[in-house]
Structure 1
Amino acid sequence: MRKAVFFILLILSGKAWAQPEIKPYGALPSNAQVKWQQLEYYMFIHFGPNTFTDKEWGHGDEDPKVFNPTELDARQWARTAKLAGMKGIIITAKHHDGFCLWPSEYSKHTVRESAWKNGKGDVLAELSAACKEYGLLFGVYLSPWDRNHPAYGTPEYNQVFANQLREVHTKYGHVFEQWFDGANGEGPNGKKQVYDWDLFEGTVKKYHPEVIFFSDAGPGCRWIGNENGFAGTTNWSTINRKEFAPGMHGIQDKLNTGQEGATDWVPGEADVSIRPGWFFSPATNDKVKTLPWLLDIYYGSVGRNANLLLNVPVDRRGRIHENDSIRLMELKKTLDADFKSNLAARARTTVTNNRPGSPLTSAIHLTDNNYNTYWATEDGKLTADINLSFEKEITFNRLAIQEYIPLGQRVKAFTVSVLEGKQYREIARETTIGYKRILRLPNTTTKSVKITLLDALASPVISEVKLYKAPELLADPVIKRSKSGEVTIAIQSADPVVYYTTNGSEPTTASAKYSSGFSFKGSGTIKAKAFINNGKTPGATVTQTFDLAPESWNAVTAGAKNAVDGNPGTTFRNAQMKYPAELVVDMGIPTTVNGFTYTPDMRGGIVYQYAFYVSNDGKEWGEPVAKGSFANILNSPVKQSIKLSKPVQCRYFKMVALAPADEKDQVPAFAETGVF
């Protein structure tokens, strides 16, 4: 036996014939990019004056003394991230308002001027120390847009920003990721800055040469094209960087899917917030994303060859709120259960088109739980089958497969089939793999699983194949309301009992039991929760906030009925309508209005600047009761709620679209407009 083992080791260590060289294909990741991809999941923290002013984009004119967390505990942030299974934290060291979470020498809008610790505090110092203590990586977001600094909009500002980057990258230890976005100026026709990206990146690289730069164009990793957390079902890690620049519009689809066979390795990072907004707001304490929702995001990001950057905003105490922390722990527990036992580890693995004379690319490496070993077809063979066979039937509902990306991303298409009797039945047909692809499948029982590689850019090189049986999860109830105010609650899980409330309180088994639709014409909050096992096992609480039901409303603007039909899936968009564009609505009766809402059409025509008017006769409008801009609406095209400074009574309201979010799209669209 010893001689046999020695002989095998001698073969495996041989030079010429043991492993014919596998030539890398196409754009390749750097060592730093490979390590970054293996992180998979880490935390984003938005924190600053916006936390205290209830804004998403501050204007830079805030009194810095408003920043005054009473119980700031960066160790609690790091401890929470660690327990959640995250590998690092990226913090908004400077957002668009220009406020610096460290006492920068190049700004007068910093923690030094705040009330926190009498101006002696330094958030970055505390967080970097906490990350080091808990074994987490430390990253920073510095917005180049600065709505406070007087030099913004001049050539001098670029050096100011470079100096701030130098401060952050020399004072707080290792930085694994530098997050940039392309935000620039104060909306259409606002003050703009010509950013010197070469200066910015060169400054950072001087101190952290292997840092991963995030932006629309990388070069380390790219925005995934939305702020919902979902990569494309096809997701290449390559793009042609020369086609992209930070802040460009109209590139979201390409960023979401990447570009096949492109020139540069720039993998996707999916960013999303655990709450509706990026910064903390007390109004969203009951709107933390549910566990099924977060699982969808995880499988739609990490499961689609992207990293997941999950934002967990720090509250006004300077702590992660308990609702967010609880949900993070639920997610960790569920993911641990989903991937607890790799059924493929006990499979007999066979392949077709095996690479000849190459023990180091044997099929045994597909299930050895070692990413750095792999199987490959012979040169020029772009198709193959991988078979996992079992002595006894197994039941699985997850399949994970990985390419060995240091040699490039290659696979273009594959299928998954299972043996039923004497025939294989296809259960999944997909496109790209990349670093990791995870498929959520129905419960399937079989003795043989076949993965067919249908096409590739070069000989496929597969590192791992894994199978799991994840526990079933209670689905979220879905709350909908018609134009007439009829509310329905649906759920996909089998035999649940759903309880609901209409006053914003938490549903329990003592609440109203849902059996059929009910009327809810006013504005307010409905919550629903599903229970199984005779009420012993609850699901997540789902919250839906409604405006006034537009039952008797009429759109005075010709053809605009879809904007007030209670259905955000329909849209009013008239190609003849240009900015400024008016949408006038007759509510039929005098109504007390506290605010208005605008739901954009994600397909285009998104309004950025607005004015909102009210009238009792539809003729005399006076001055607008609200005027401003929808912060970040282009990147996060979700329903916008604007509260008025004081309630008004009116029969008519008018929303005026003043300027577009995308200057190339000059036709405004209204998916829905309402009042509360």
Structure 2
Amino acid sequence: MKLFTTVKSLCFLIALAAVSNFSYAQQKPSKPLNELQQSFVDLKFGMFIHFNIPTYFNQDWPDPEASPEAFNPTKLNADQWAKAAKSANMAYGCITTKHHSGFCIWDTKTTNYSVMSSPYKKDVVRQFVNAFRANGLKVMLYYSILDTHHKLRPNEIQPKHIEMVKKQLTELLTNYGPIEALIIDGWDAPWSRISYDDVPFEQVYKLVKSLQPNCIMMDLNGAKYPKDGLYYTDIKTYEMGAGQRMSKDINQMPSLACLPLQSSWFWKTNMPTTAVKDPAKLVNETLVTLNKANCNFILNVAPNRDGLFDDNALAALKQIGTLWHNDGSKADFKPTSAPIIASNLAKNQPANSSWSDDMNIMDFANDDDFTSSWQSNPEVKNPWYEVDFRTPQTFNAIVIFEHKPNIKKYKLEYFANNKWNALFEGENLLRVKVNRFTSVKGEKIRMKIESYDTPPSIAEFEVYNEPR
């Protein structure tokens, strides 16, 4: 009877632990965004691990129909990865759970295109999180929205794809304990062409926060959005290998920048004999410089086909650790407002304005292209800009983006019940002018520009109905 009671108690404890792990997010109190941003940036330095089916094809983007049989890291040792990260004085690791070709390296129930259908048949994500936590390191995960194997790509997206994304993220955020951050890729990028409407960002963001409220969610969208505006991400992101750099002449946001130690993101057959980036330059010219600019740096190290880091990568990481230590200093950035996560209601809607300058007509200000602009004609003394929804829309935020801060004082009005109603009147000297207010419903929105230095222009005039 005593043995039965002991076994019964043990089973209960195991079940309780499983339930606790699953419900971690629901029970964990949410911290303010600024506090989460501060904690993230203060980590300063971490390890990106691009390891997935591309590792076995000498390509970053392999054939979408590549067989799971190719994935077989017979000597995989996640503890080696974690200890290598510690040797460089890194604070965390982040692994590619699913890259653009759709292969999942965890025990997913959503598809057979996963590590469980490979000869290896072991959950790589589980080994990664266990090893990094055991070595005192924090855990982050990477996930690609673009998925060429499952045909989640432009002109092919169906409701089943959106459900797959939600189910996969639910697995990753409920089965592996606390996740410090989630790095999203393949979304609203020029090369993926999947918009935040095709796969609704707001739904995915709210799901992530419902599962793990203290998980920072970052989308690698630095190529498109203003560097001083928080669009569809909790942290500004810069893929340095793609030429994305922070500007020094504008307010710096809490940021993340990434770069590979080796010649590319995924392992290639020539990597063991090809020189990696110079550790001293990485420390002195990249890591230290980024940290001073309120930016966390994540350095990619690609495991080989055995599931191990090459000797030259290990040596470089150890050298980095002799040159750099986290001095414990705190990032000093201005608090940000909440990120924009809703769909832009003004995008490509009928627009009107006072006299435009030559070809820079009103339609350029709501075309979802941050490089183009509506330009007021210099002869106009009291310029105005208007978006017409034709049918009443509910909204609670208006954002105006200028390439250079120029517009100073302005009024915002909305048209409802056959009259113009006031929304805002005042001064805002920023390039990204975020105006949030109690929800209203109207057919049109108008901006009257009252003071400016030079003839005003608007790169993007955006309207949102945000969740509050």
TM class by smaller structure: 0.5 to 0.7
Deviation at 1:220, TM superposition (A): 1.5
User: CA contact under 8 A between 2:146 and 2:192: conserved in structure 1?
Assistant: no
User: CA contact under 8 A between 1:72 and 1:319: conserved in structure 2?
Assistant: yes
Deviation at 1:193, TM superposition (A): 8.4
- After superposition, the C-alpha distances for 1:253-276 in whole angstroms (9 at most, x for unaligned) are xxxxxxxxxxxxxx2211100012
Alignment of 1:253-268 (within 5 A): 267-268=254-255
Deviation at 1:167, TM superposition (A): 0.5
Q: Distance in 2 between matches of 1:189 and 1:142?
A: 16
- After superposition, the C-alpha distances for 1:127-167 in whole angstroms (9 at most, x for unaligned) are 11112101111111110111111566212211111100000
Deviation at 1:299, TM superposition (A): 2.7
Q: Distance in 1 between matches of 2:263 and 2:329?
A: 38
Shift in alpha-carbon separation, 1:107–1:188, aligned structure 2, 3 A: closer
Matched residue, 2:36: 32
Q: Distance in 2 between matches of 1:106 and 1:160?
A: 7
Identity over the aligned pairs, expressed in percent?
25
Deviation at 1:183, TM superposition (A): 4.2
2:222 matches 1:233? no
2:260 matches 1:273? yes
Find the residue that maps to 1:44 and give its secondary structure.
strand
Q: Distance in 1 between matches of 2:193 and 2:292?
A: 41
Q: 2:186 aligns with which of 182, 192, 196?
A: 182
Q: Distance in 2 between matches of 1:229 and 1:188?
A: 17
- After superposition, the C-alpha distances for 1:560-579 in whole angstroms (9 at most, x for unaligned) are xxxxxxxxxxxxxxxxxxxx
Deviation at 1:189, TM superposition (A): 9.2
Q: How many residues align?
A: 289
Find the residue that maps to 1:140 and give its secondary structure.
strand
Matched residue, 1:308: 297
Q: 2:236 aligns with which of 198, 222, 225?
A: 222
Shift in alpha-carbon separation, 1:51–1:208, aligned structure 2, 3 A: same
Q: Distance in 2 between matches of 1:45 and 1:188?
A: 21
User: CA contact under 8 A between 2:141 and 2:183: conserved in structure 1?
Assistant: yes
Q: Distance in 2 between matches of 1:219 and 1:191?
A: 14
Relative CO higher for 1 or 2, CA cutoff 8 Å, sep ≥ 6?
A: 2
The answer to which structure has the higher strand fraction is: 1
Alignment of 1:49-64 (within 5 A): 49-64=53-68
Q: Distance in 2 between matches of 1:86 and 1:174?
A: 18
User: CA contact under 8 A between 1:291 and 1:331: conserved in structure 2?
Assistant: yes
The answer to which structure has the higher helix fraction is: 2
Q: Distance in 2 between matches of 1:317 and 1:126?
A: 15
Q: TM-score, normalised by structure 1?
A: 0.40
Matched residue, 1:170: 174
User: CA contact under 8 A between 2:110 and 2:164: conserved in structure 1?
Assistant: yes
Q: Distance in 2 between matches of 1:370 and 1:188?
A: 37
Q: 1:66 aligns with which of 55, 64, 70?
A: 70
Q: Distance in 2 between matches of 1:199 and 1:122?
A: 27
User: CA contact under 8 A between 1:205 and 1:211: conserved in structure 2?
Assistant: yes
Matched residue, 1:87: 91
Alignment of 1:420-431 (within 5 A): none
Partner amino acid, structure 1, of 2:100:
H
User: CA contact under 8 A between 1:79 and 1:134: conserved in structure 2?
Assistant: yes
- After superposition, the C-alpha distances for 1:98-155 in whole angstroms (9 at most, x for unaligned) are 0001121111210011111xx2x00011111112101111111110111111566212
Q: Distance in 1 between matches of 2:192 and 2:78?
A: 38
Shift in alpha-carbon separation, 1:34–1:210, aligned structure 2, 3 A: same
Q: Distance in 2 between matches of 1:95 and 1:53?
A: 14
Alignment of 1:388-427 (within 5 A): 403=332, 405=333, 408=335
Q: Distance in 2 between matches of 1:197 and 1:190?
A: 11
Q: Distance in 2 between matches of 1:138 and 1:321?
A: 22
Shift in alpha-carbon separation, 1:60–1:306, aligned structure 2, 3 A: same
Partner amino acid, structure 2, of 1:148:
H
User: CA contact under 8 A between 1:102 and 1:123: conserved in structure 2?
Assistant: yes
Find the residue that maps to 1:93 and give its secondary structure.
strand
Q: Distance in 1 between matches of 2:244 and 2:127?
A: 28
User: CA contact under 8 A between 1:153 and 1:192: conserved in structure 2?
Assistant: no
Q: Distance in 1 between matches of 2:250 and 2:206?
A: 29
Deviation at 1:203, TM superposition (A): 1.7
Matched residue, 1:284: 271
Find the residue that maps to 1:31 and give its secondary structure.
helix
Matched residue, 1:155: 159
- After superposition, the C-alpha distances for 1:34-63 in whole angstroms (9 at most, x for unaligned) are 111110101100001111101011232100
Q: Distance in 1 between matches of 2:194 and 2:177?
A: 36
Shift in alpha-carbon separation, 1:235–1:320, aligned structure 2, 3 A: farther
Find the residue that maps to 1:279 and give its secondary structure.
coil
Q: Distance in 2 between matches of 1:211 and 1:189?
A: 26
User: CA contact under 8 A between 2:34 and 2:335: conserved in structure 1?
Assistant: no
User: CA contact under 8 A between 2:287 and 2:297: conserved in structure 1?
Assistant: yes
User: CA contact under 8 A between 2:99 and 2:147: conserved in structure 1?
Assistant: yes
User: CA contact under 8 A between 2:275 and 2:312: conserved in structure 1?
Assistant: no
Shift in alpha-carbon separation, 1:31–1:149, aligned structure 2, 3 A: same
- After superposition, the C-alpha distances for 1:12-33 in whole angstroms (9 at most, x for unaligned) are xxxxxxxxxxxxxxxx952111
- After superposition, the C-alpha distances for 1:330-374 in whole angstroms (9 at most, x for unaligned) are 1110225xx99xxxxxxxxxxxxxxxxxxxxxxxxxxxx885xxx
User: CA contact under 8 A between 2:105 and 2:124: conserved in structure 1?
Assistant: yes
Matched residue, 1:318: 307
Deviation at 1:325, TM superposition (A): 1.1
Shift in alpha-carbon separation, 1:370–1:188, aligned structure 2, 3 A: closer
Matched residue, 2:132: 131
Q: 1:195 aligns with which of 190, 193, 199?
A: 199
User: CA contact under 8 A between 1:102 and 1:122: conserved in structure 2?
Assistant: yes
Find the residue that maps to 1:99 and give its secondary structure.
coil
Unaligned runs of 5+ in 2: 1-31, 222-230, 337-468
2:147 matches 1:143? no
Find the residue that maps to 1:128 and give its secondary structure.
helix
Larger radius of gyration: 1
Partner amino acid, structure 2, of 1:143:
S
Deviation at 1:229, TM superposition (A): 8.0
Shift in alpha-carbon separation, 1:125–1:71, aligned structure 2, 3 A: same
User: CA contact under 8 A between 1:153 and 1:193: conserved in structure 2?
Assistant: no
Shift in alpha-carbon separation, 1:187–1:231, aligned structure 2, 3 A: closer
Partner amino acid, structure 2, of 1:58:
P
Q: TM-score, normalised by structure 2?
A: 0.57
Q: Distance in 1 between matches of 2:115 and 2:85?
A: 24
Matched residue, 1:294: 282
Q: Distance in 2 between matches of 1:58 and 1:272?
A: 21
Deviation at 1:300, TM superposition (A): 3.1
Shift in alpha-carbon separation, 1:235–1:85, aligned structure 2, 3 A: farther
Shift in alpha-carbon separation, 1:58–1:304, aligned structure 2, 3 A: same
Q: 2:45 aligns with which of 37, 41, 44?
A: 41
User: CA contact under 8 A between 2:238 and 2:245: conserved in structure 1?
Assistant: yes
Q: Distance in 2 between matches of 1:114 and 1:195?
A: 29
Unaligned runs of 5+ in 1: 1-27, 239-266, 341-368, 372-401, 410-676
